[in-house]
Structures are given as C-alpha cells and as structure tokens.
C-alpha cells in the first residue's frame, strides 16, 4: 500500500505515515437477493439504496482523486452482489488504509432523519474511524444535515454489530459505515432525493476524507497521515443503551383563540444526545410512534424546549410528549390534562355576562338621555315662564331680569304684594272712616233726611 512506512508518534495515537493513503469506498448493497439485503433501503418502490450508494461513491471517488497523495478504489462499480467478507478482502488486496462503506438509511416508522456514522467500538479501529467520521460529519452538518452522531453498535456476542466493521477490525482495517440520511423521511428526502444530491454528498464525503489526512489538490506531500487526534481507548466504547431521563412536559398556556397549547418540555440524556421530540394527544399506552407526527429536532445543548402544539377545537383529554435520543431510544412524559371545552364554556359565559352588562349600560344611558331631554324640556318651559314673569315684574317694578327669578316664588311674592296692598288700602279706608266718622255720619243723616232731588 505505501512506499514508505514508518511509525509516526502523533499525540497519544500511533499511526503509520506514508507518501499516500489508500482509501477504499464501498457502495453498500448491490445485486439481487430474496431478502432486502441486496437492495438496501427502498423508498416508494422507486428509489433503491444500492443505486444511490453507487452514484454517491462515484462522485466521492471522482472528487477524492483530484487530491494528491491519495489512491481511491471502489469495491464495486456496477450492480453486483458482494458479501461483506469480499468487500473487506478487496480492501486488503489493494492495501487499504481505511474502508468507507457508503449507505443511506430508512426506518420502520419512517420517523427519523439525519446522518450518522458507525465505527468499531474497539481500540485503533475506533480511534481511526472516529477521527475520519468527525471530518465527514462536519461536512454534512455544514451542508445542513442533522447529525445523529458518530456511534458504535455492539452485537449479542460483544463484538461490533455490523459485519463489515467486525471483519475489518479482525484484520486491523478501520471500517466506517457512513449513513448519509434517511431516504424514507421527507425531511432528508427533500435534501437527498435527487442524483444531484447524491453527487453533492459524495463530494462532501471526499472533502471530509481529504481533511482527515490533510490532503491538498495543489501540493504533493512527502508523507500523509491522519491529522485528527482521537486517543485509542483502552475500553470498549459502548453505545448508549438507556433512553432519555427526566422527561417532563409542562403546559404553560391553552390558547382557545388559536386552539394551541404552549408547552415546555425538559429532558436529560447522560450518554448520547437528545435528538428528537414529538407530542401526541392521548396517553402513551394508546398511541403509536407515528402519532407523534413529524418529529422535531431537539436543539443541541438545550435541556428545555418550548413550543406550541395545535389541538382540535374544544379538546378535552390528555397530551403526552416523547423524547428520543440519537440511538432512537425514547421516554414519554407523564400525560398532562387539557381542557379546552371548559375554557370555551367559561369564555362563552364571560361573553354572555359582558353582553348583559353592556345591554344594562345601554339601557341606563338611554334612561339618562330621556331624563336629560325631560329636564331640557322642563327647563325650556321654565325659561319661557321666567321670561313672562320677568316682563310682569318689570311692569310691577320687580326684578327686571325675569330669567333670574324663580317663577313660583315670583308668583307667590306677587300675590303677597297684592294682598298687602289690599290690606293697606282697607286699613287706610278704616282710618279715614274712623277719623271722619262724625262728618260721615252727619252726611249720611243729612242724606237720609233730605230730598235727594235737591241735589
Ligand atoms: Zn444500507
């Protein structure tokens, strides 16, 4: 494989440096078989993973070959069936430094999306594979893919679960399985559904691999070696086997205007990372995974997520949240009660009361307007009277400004004045009579004793 071998001490990791690296690309699956193994993920009966892998591998090879200090091989260049051992044997036959098995994903529930890379869980193969995986994943994330992480998987025998990784590890050949994304999920499909997308992913893979070795398209180096230092673990790098913990759903608000729930969801993950979450009406026992709808991405580094969830109008019942880690293990929150029906009833009641109150106020206003009209009318009458009385007072020497006088009082005082006048006249008459009573009597007697005709 390499012209020049020597031991290069790089941090805690010992790697072989030479004037070139030999990278073998393995387009996963291929050919025909009774079961699905030859085809890989099949999406909508038209998209076959084996073809997508091959297209991606071609683009990867073409791009990686533009760099110096690298030799690239493919395990297959057509639609043929190869066993996992044959793939590893081929890689060994060309002196591979690494075997990169190229895949796309699918899940039973079609719920998952994002990219993931599997490495061996053991020693040098882990260290080498993990460093390379980091460089490739970096490219995918920059391109907009969600990362499900760089993972290991252990089988029931305690060895690497995936055959190709296991076989590689047996002969100290680092093997990684790169799962670009899920062909059966619309989130990934929108990004990975066309030939152009597969070519793009292949080129990204090539850039990641080139970065791992520090390769250049312009410069030729005397020696190349991995530039990412991942310490060789002296333990088995176990995958996460426990689901997220402390999943707690809190209802902040039930918005009857929009029929939406405002919620807060918290969770903890000790080994892996929190990956997706979804909400569903009902209790966990009565729900299917699909009921959690399009899973949402758990924002990296956050332990609490807030969001809104639409419910049917007037919904009364439970709501549950489900949180997944990047190993597709999940935990459910305790179901929370929602009661939009009561809230709507309460609002209807409030509206009814408000309408009643408004009607009462309108009536009150109407009455007060009526009263005001009445008073205005009365006032106008009074004014008219006052004007009349004022004229009269002017006439009898009273207040000239009739409109400043109360007509009732004025009338009363007028009567009093008349009465007083009459009394005064009567008194004067009496005084005059008393004073001149003799003359009056004499006159009367004269009149009685005389012949009136004389006068
Ligand atoms: Zn596959």
Q: Is the pLDDT of residue 451 over 80?
A: no
CA of 332 to the centre of ligand 1 (A): 30
36 in a structural domain: yes
161 in a structural domain: yes
Query: What does the alpha-carbon distance between residue 225 and residue 16 come to, in Å, rounded to a whole number?
Result: 7
Structure tokens that stand for 292 in this block: 């959690």
Q: Which residues surround ligand 1, an ion (CB under 5 A)?
A: 28, 40, 103
Are 132 and 212 contacting, i.e. CB atoms less than 8 angstroms apart? yes
pLDDT by residue (tens digit) across 354-404? Answer: 999 999 999 999 999 999 999 999 999 988 888 876 665 555 555 545 455
pLDDT by residue (tens digit) across 152-208? Answer: 999 999 999 999 999 999 999 999 999 999 999 999 999 999 999 999 999 999 999
Q: Are residues 72 and 204 in the same domain?
A: yes
In eight-state DSSP terms, residue 292 is G
Q: Are residues 35 and 95 in the same domain?
A: yes
CA of 310 to the centre of ligand 1 (A): 36
| Residue 42's CATH number | 3.40.630.40
Confidence at 287, pLDDT banded by 50, 70, 90: confident
- Number of domains the chain is built from: 3
- Most confident region among 2-6, 203-207, 279-283, 388-392 by mean pLDDT: 203-207
Structure tokens that stand for 420 in this block: 């007083």
Q: Are residues 252 and 328 in the same domain?
A: yes
Query: What does the alpha-carbon distance between residue 223 and residue 217 come to, in Å, rounded to a whole number?
Result: 15
Of residues 4 and 360, the one with the higher pLDDT is 360
CA of 202 to the centre of ligand 1 (A): 15
CA of 179 to the centre of ligand 1 (A): 7
Query: What does the alpha-carbon distance between residue 276 and residue 116 come to, in Å, rounded to a whole number?
Result: 14
Average pLDDT, the chain: 89
Q: Are residues 281 and 198 in the same domain?
A: no
Give residue 407's pLDDT: 65
Which region, left, alpha or beta, applies to residue 18 given φ > 0 means left and ψ of -120 to 50 means alpha? beta
Are 174 and 125 contacting, i.e. CB atoms less than 8 angstroms apart? yes
Q: Are residues 150 and 20 in the same domain?
A: yes
Closest to 240 in 3D by CA, of 266, 264, 268:
268
What are the residues facing 336 on neighbouring strands?
Answer: 319
Q: Are residues 110 and 251 in the same domain?
A: no
CA of 103 to the centre of ligand 1 (A): 4
CA of 41 to the centre of ligand 1 (A): 6
Structure tokens that stand for 188 in this block: 């990934």
Q: Are residues 196 and 263 in the same domain?
A: no
410 in a structural domain: yes
Residue 179: Cβ within 10 Å count: 20
Query: What does the alpha-carbon distance between residue 252 and residue 255 come to, in Å, rounded to a whole number?
Result: 10
CA of 183 to the centre of ligand 1 (A): 11
Give residue 443's pLDDT: 78
Torsion, Cα of 150, 154, 158, 161 (10° steps): -110
Last residue of a domain, one of 286, 313, 342: 342
CA of 280 to the centre of ligand 1 (A): 31
Q: Is the pLDDT of residue 17 over 80?
A: no
CA of 99 to the centre of ligand 1 (A): 15
418 in a structural domain: yes
Last residue of a domain, one of 196, 213, 230: 213
CA of 28 to the centre of ligand 1 (A): 6
126 in a structural domain: yes
Q: Are residues 19 and 148 in the same domain?
A: yes
CA of 300 to the centre of ligand 1 (A): 27
% of the chain surpassing 70 pLDDT:
90
CA of 40 to the centre of ligand 1 (A): 5
Are 249 and 319 contacting, i.e. CB atoms less than 8 angstroms apart? yes
CA of 354 to the centre of ligand 1 (A): 64
Are 43 and 189 contacting, i.e. CB atoms less than 8 angstroms apart? yes
Q: DSSP secondary structure string, 359-401?
A: HHHHHHHHHHHHHHHHHHHHHHHHHHHHHHHHHHHHHHTS-S-
State the average pLDDT over residues 267-293. Answer: 89
Give residue 449's pLDDT: 63
CA of 147 to the centre of ligand 1 (A): 17
Query: What does the alpha-carbon distance between residue 121 and residue 118 come to, in Å, rounded to a whole number?
Result: 9
Of residues 291 and 398, the one with the higher pLDDT is 291
CA of 27 to the centre of ligand 1 (A): 9
372 in a structural domain: no
CA of 204 to the centre of ligand 1 (A): 18
| Residue 263's CATH number | 2.60.40.1930
CA of 106 to the centre of ligand 1 (A): 8
Give residue 450's pLDDT: 59
Q: Is the pLDDT of residue 12 over 50?
A: no
CA of 270 to the centre of ligand 1 (A): 28
Q: Are residues 208 and 282 in the same domain?
A: no
Of residues 271 and 374, the one with the higher pLDDT is 374
CA of 425 to the centre of ligand 1 (A): 136
Range of the domain at 411: 406-454
253 in a structural domain: yes
Give residue 433's pLDDT: 83
Are 174 and 131 contacting, i.e. CB atoms less than 8 angstroms apart? no
Q: Are residues 294 and 157 in the same domain?
A: no
Q: Are residues 261 and 188 in the same domain?
A: no
Q: Are residues 249 and 205 in the same domain?
A: no
Last residue of a domain, one of 213, 231, 263: 213
Q: Is the pLDDT of residue 98 over 80?
A: yes
State the average pLDDT over residues 406-430. Answer: 82
The Cβ-side half-sphere exposure at 189, using a 13 Å CA radius, reads: 16
Of residues 58 and 286, the one with the higher pLDDT is 58
108 in a structural domain: yes
Residue 414: Cβ within 10 Å count: 15
Query: What does the alpha-carbon distance between residue 341 and residue 374 come to, in Å, rounded to a whole number?
Result: 49
Query: What does the alpha-carbon distance between residue 183 and residue 4 come to, in Å, rounded to a whole number?
Result: 42
Query: What does the alpha-carbon distance between residue 275 and residue 286 come to, in Å, rounded to a whole number?
Result: 23
Longest dimension (CA), the chain: 187
Q: Is the pLDDT of residue 336 over 90?
A: yes
CA of 97 to the centre of ligand 1 (A): 22
Which region, left, alpha or beta, applies to residue 290 given φ > 0 means left and ψ of -120 to 50 means alpha? alpha
């Amino acid at each position: 494989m390499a012209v020049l071998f020597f031991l290069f001490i790089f941090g805690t990791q010992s790697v072989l440096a030479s004037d070139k690296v030999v990278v073998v690309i393995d387009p996963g699956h291929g050919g025909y078989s009774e079961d699905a193994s030859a085809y890989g993920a099949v999406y909508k009966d038209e998209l076959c993973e084996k073809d997508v892998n091959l297209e991606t591998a071609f683009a990867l090879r073409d791009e990686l070959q533009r760099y110096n200090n690298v030799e690239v091989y493919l395990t297959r260049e057509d639609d043929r069936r190869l066993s996992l051992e044959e793939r590893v044997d081929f890689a060994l036959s060309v002196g591979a430094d690494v075997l990169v098995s190229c895949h796309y994903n699918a899940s039973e529930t079609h719920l998952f999306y994002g990219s993931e890379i599997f490495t061996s869980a053991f020693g040098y193969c882990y260290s080498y594979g993990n460093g390379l995986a980091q460089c490739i994943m970096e490219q995918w994330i920059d391109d907009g893919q969600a990362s499900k992480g760089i993972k290991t998987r252990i089988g029931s025998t305690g060895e690497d679960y995936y055959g190709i990784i296991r076989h590689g590890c047996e002969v100290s050949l680092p093997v990684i399985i790169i799962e670009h994304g899920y062909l059966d999920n619309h989130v990934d499909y929108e990004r990975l559904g066309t030939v152009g997308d597969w070519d793009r992913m292949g080129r990204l893979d090539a850039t990641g691999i080139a970065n791992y070795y520090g390769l250049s398209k312009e410069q030729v180096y005397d020696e190349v070696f991995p530039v990412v230092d991942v310490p060789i673990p002296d333990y088995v790098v176990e995958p996460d086997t426990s689901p997220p913990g402390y999943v707690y759903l809190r209802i902040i608000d039930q918005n009857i205007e929009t029929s939406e729930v405002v919620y807060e969801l918290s969770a903890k993950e000790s080994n892996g990372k929190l990956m997706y979450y979804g909400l569903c009406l009902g209790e966990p026992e009565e729900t299917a995974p699909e009921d959690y709808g399009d899973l949402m991405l758990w924002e990296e580094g956050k332990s609490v997520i807030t969001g809104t969830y639409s419910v049917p109008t007037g919904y009364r019942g439970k709501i549950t949240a489900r949180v997944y880690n990047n190993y597709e293990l999940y935990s459910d929150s305790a179901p929370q009660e929602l009661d939009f029906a009561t809230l709507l009833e309460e609002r209807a009641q409030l509206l009814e009361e408000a309408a009643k109150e408004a009607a009462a106020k309108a009536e009150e206003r109407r009455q007060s307007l009526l009263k005001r009209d009445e008073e205005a009318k009365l006032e106008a009458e009074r004014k008219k009277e006052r004007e009349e009385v004022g004229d009269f007072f002017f006439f009898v020497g009273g207040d000239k400004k009739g409109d400043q006088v109360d007509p009732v009082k004025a009338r009363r005082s007028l009567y009093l004045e008349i009465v007083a006048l009459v009394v005064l006249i009567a008194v004067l008459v009496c005084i005059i009579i008393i004073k001149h009573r003799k003359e009056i009597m004499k006159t009367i007697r004269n009149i009685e004793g005389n012949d009136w005709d004389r006068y």
